[in-house]
Structure 1
Amino acid sequence: MATVGIRNPAEGYVKTPHPIQGLPRVVRHITGHNDEGKSVFLSTDIGDHHRELANESGIANIIYSTCGHPVELTGDLDIHYARKNEPGISVKNGSVCRMIDFGPGALSPMHRVSSLDYAIIIEGVFKMVLDSGEERIMQRGDIAVQRATAHQWINVTGNGLLPARILFILLDIKDLQVSGSKLEGHLGTLEQDYSGLPGHKPNNGLKHGEENESLFDSEF
């Protein structure tokens, strides 16, 4: 997570497994139903997928991801998919719930994701900067509704001396047209963090509802 020409202060900070030192461990509780149709807790864990970000400056914890919309819960197909597949930064016709722990002073590159994102500050203070130069200071409990805009995150917690955390919920979108032109996404150095992950998958002309079935048949 570095910006070209600017050294990331958090570079080399991550020395231990998830979570970053100084932040509490995230616990995930998944619910479902028993044979009587009663609601039950199916599992309590710390998630299935954790990934160090570039230059050991942060850690991404995937809380959950889905493919297809509406989501198929019958037979716990969604749970099997989420456990088996670590998503790219977003998922075609799906969603990603990702918690990112930022090292002290960590900064992302300026980037644009083709998704609608809800970014919720869980711990710490961040400066959110847009490519227009506009910026906002966001504190714990603040939420950014990120509509496929180019942006950068800078962890300014404790004057850049403390770790911080953001919860991201990413939803796929249709192609975005601005002033008559399609707006493309770009990840900058984030590309190396998500390289090789499934992310956006073509539906190969399948009709709505068939895509979920195809994905599960081919991956399990």
Structure 2
Amino acid sequence: MAAVNTRNPAEGYVRTPHPVQGLPRVVRHITGHDAEGKSVFLSTDIGDHHRELANKSGIANIIYSTCEHPIELTGDIDIQYEKKHEPGISVKNGSVCRMIDFGPGALSPMHRVNSLDYAIIIEGVFRVVLDSGEERIMQRGDIAVQRSTAHQWINVTGNGLLPARILFILLDVKDLEIAGTKVEGHLGTLEKDYAGLPGHGPKDGPNKEKGYGNLFESEF
């Protein structure tokens, strides 16, 4: 197995809420319906939740999140949930659409999330390393389909001198077993970044049957 790079050149880089300096602003447009059933734009903004990650070397912008499937749109229940709850790294029975800005040379720890992730490179160039030692170079427009695998992201844009951006869409999955053994997730140093947020595991609560359980507890 290849050695995992742990030194983060971008530590302490993020100084402003969003976006990372040198990257364009992300604008979110949410649609819905008026009283006559016509399609309309309900809001245009930059998202409700932003969080610094990995010792302030990057920042996450939550585009949207859900906590059930199928999703209840009637009465804008999904919008109310998204606005009120910042998700953990993934949501049981739900989904998370998260844009992460990486500072120059920034890297994530080696980590594994219990989810199916579509990772789309929006800006820059990344080296993605698996715990087997295998790696790939990914650039703008490339997509990784992460199937609960342990991996690390390294921003190598401009030889590590420029910021970069990835769009992540995370979907909940059933427990993964390999050779009869359940594969457990681990976040490494990202664990502290998501402490106190709703975790991946199921929680009890008065609305558990609708997927709106005790969302302020975390398993991490």
After TM superposition, the score normalised by the length of structure 2 is 0.92
Alignment of 1:56-205 (within 5 A): 56-202=56-202, 204=204
Contact 1:203 1:211 in 2 (8 A): no
Q: Take 1:114 and 1:150, find their aligned partners in 2: how far apart are those partners?
A: 10
Q: Distance in 1 between matches of 2:204 and 2:43?
A: 34
For the Cα contact (< 8 Å) 2:203–2:213, is it kept in 1? no
RMSD between aligned residues: 2.1
Shift of 1:205: 9.8
Gaps of 5+ in 1: none
Residue 60 of structure 1 aligns with an amino acid whose one-letter code is: A
Matches of 2:149 and 2:5, distance apart in 1: 22
Q: Hey, which of these two has a bigger chunk of helix by percent?
A: 1
Would the alpha carbon gap of residues 41 and 170 (structure 1) be closer, same or farther in structure 2, given more than 3 Å must change?
same
Q: Which residue of 2 aligns with 1:11?
A: 11
Bigger shift: residues 3-12 or 131-140: 3-12
Of 51-60 and 193-202, deviating more is 193-202
Deviation per CA, 1:113-138, whole angstroms, max 9, x where unpaired? 00000000000000000000000000
> Structure 1 vs Structure 2: percent identity of aligned residues?
82
Q: Tell me the secondary structure at the aligned position of residue 210 of structure 1.
A: helix
In structure 2, distance between residues paired with 1:194 and 1:46:
21
Distance 1:13 1:183, change over 3 A: same
Task: Assess if the C-alpha contact under 8 Å between 2:103 and 2:163 holds in 1.
Answer: yes
Partner SS for 2:76: helix
Matched to 2:84, the amino acid is K
2:59 aligns to what SS in structure 1?
strand
TM-score when normalising by structure 1: 0.92
CA-to-partner distance for each residue in 1:87-122, whole Å, 9 max, x for gaps? 000000000000000000001000000000000000
TM-fit CA distance, 1:54: 2.7
Task: Look up the equivalent residue of 2:165 and give its one-letter code.
Answer: R
Indicate the SS of the match to 1:55: coil
2:106 aligned partner, one-letter code:
A
- TM-superposed CA distance for 1:215, in Å, is 4.0
Question: 1:29 touches 1:44 (CA, 8 Å); kept in 2?
Answer: yes
Query: Helix, strand or coil: the match of 2:55?
Result: helix
Deviation at 1:201, TM superposition (A): 4.8
Q: Give yes or no for contact 2:111–2:188 (8 Å, CA) kept in 1.
A: yes
Classify the secondary structure of the residue corresponding to 1:81: helix
8 Å Cα contact 1:68/1:93 also seen in 2: yes
Q: Which amino acid letter does the alignment assign opposite residue 170 of structure 1? A: L
Amino acid at match of 2:210: E
Alpha-carbon separation, structure 2, partners of 1:205 and 1:56 = 33
Q: Is the 8 A contact 1:131 1:151 kept in 2?
A: yes
